[in-house]
Structure 1
Amino acid sequence: MLQPLNLPPYPFKLTDDNGQLILFDELRKKNIVLTPEEWVRQHFVQYLIRQKQYPKTLIKLEGGLKLHGMARRTDIVVFNSAGEKVLLVECKAPSVAITQATFDQAARYNMVHKVKLLAVTNGLQHYYCSINHNTQTYKFMEELPAYKEI
């Protein structure tokens, strides 16, 4: 049984492969094992596309980055039409509480990406903040801006 999230439901293509749920990822165009974190990532991607009008072609999932010489993966990175990174999303499973450590992880990733919008979600709670890299400050926002507003 898949946990309902605090995001709109979407018509995902799910299949059962010997007791393991598989989801067709329309951005990566392949089947992936459905983990609780992936459930959140897929919902949030659809939220970006359908509710906030972010273009599918400008969303990258599980992009690699190097941080202090270590390979890391970002959950979701969104680009603008000029190819600049504008939004970094860190996804956690619904059972994982959003803590200061979660924000610290996203902030460390953002030291590499230097995006101006940061989102952290476990599918139940969503936090958004805008970052000013010049003044090294951030401000929490109630709502994530639509793509045309960024």
Structure 2
Amino acid sequence: MQKLNFPDYSFRFKNSENNLLVFDEIRKKFVVLTPEEWVRIHVVQFLMVDKNYPKSLINVEKVIKINGLTKRYDVVVFQPNGTVFLVVECKQPNVAISQTVFDQIARYNLTLKANYLMVTNGLNHYFCQMDLEKESYLFLKDIPSYNAITKSS
């Protein structure tokens, strides 16, 4: 798999029925290693290892309903009180981060109402802080660590 713009993490792999699988710590199972999954598992490690978010507050690949349509988000981080703190949209490395991708995560966030958004293709990462009242976002250099959000709440 392609080297991504994340620190190096160690992952568990196995082969099954001519597929390479990687262990997803959040879903607690091996999943087929696709280019998007490669980005997603790096994001999860980034959140747990570098940003200190507890595994128990991270959710991966869950279904949500948006305007009657069934969609699936990539990664969500909850606050201890159960509200959504961060929504992450992952794309495979060869997919450019475009306005369409930001529109997609913005639609998800109309339902999820997260304070922060992250969009990544593993090579380029974009972080935003939401202003839910004004329905706008401010680009940031990074997202806060878990320690920073628990001190401010």
TM range (shorter): over 0.9
Quote the residue 1:143 is aligned against: 142
Alignment partners' CA distance in 1, 2:60 and 2:29: 12
Q: Which residue of 2 aligns with 1:36?
A: 35
What secondary structure, in the 3-state scheme, does the structure 2 residue paired with 1:43 have?
helix
Query: Residue 110 of structure 1 aligns with which residue?
Result: 109
In the alignment, the residues of structure 1 paired with residue 124 and residue 42 of structure 2 have an alpha-carbon distance, to the nearest angstrom, of 13
Q: TM-score, length-normalised on structure 2?
A: 0.94
1:4 CA displacement: 0.4
- State the match for 1:12 in structure 2: 11
Structure 1 unmatched runs, 5+: none
The unaligned stretches of length 5 or more in structure 2 are: none
1:129 aligns to what SS in structure 2?
strand
Give CA-to-partner distance per residue, 1:90-126, whole Å, 9 cap, x none.
0000010000000000000000101110000000000
Alpha-carbon distance in structure 1 between the residues aligned to 2:24 and 2:135: 35
Q: Compute the displacement of 1:70 (Å).
A: 0.8
Question: What displacement does 1:18 show?
Answer: 4.0
Aligned pairs for 1:1-150 (under 5 A) are 2-150=1-149
Query: Alignment length, in residue pairs?
Result: 149
**CA offset digits 1:21-50 (Å, max 9, x no partner):** 101111111111011000000001000000
* Deviation of the 1:137 alpha carbon: 2.1
Over the matched positions of the two proteins, sequence identity in percent amounts to 49
TM-score, normalising length from structure 1? 0.96
Measured on the aligned residues, the alpha-carbon RMSD in Å equals 0.9
Aligned mates of 1:76, 1:130 — CA distance in 2: 16
Deviation of residue 81 (structure 1)?
0.8
Moved over 6 A (4+): none
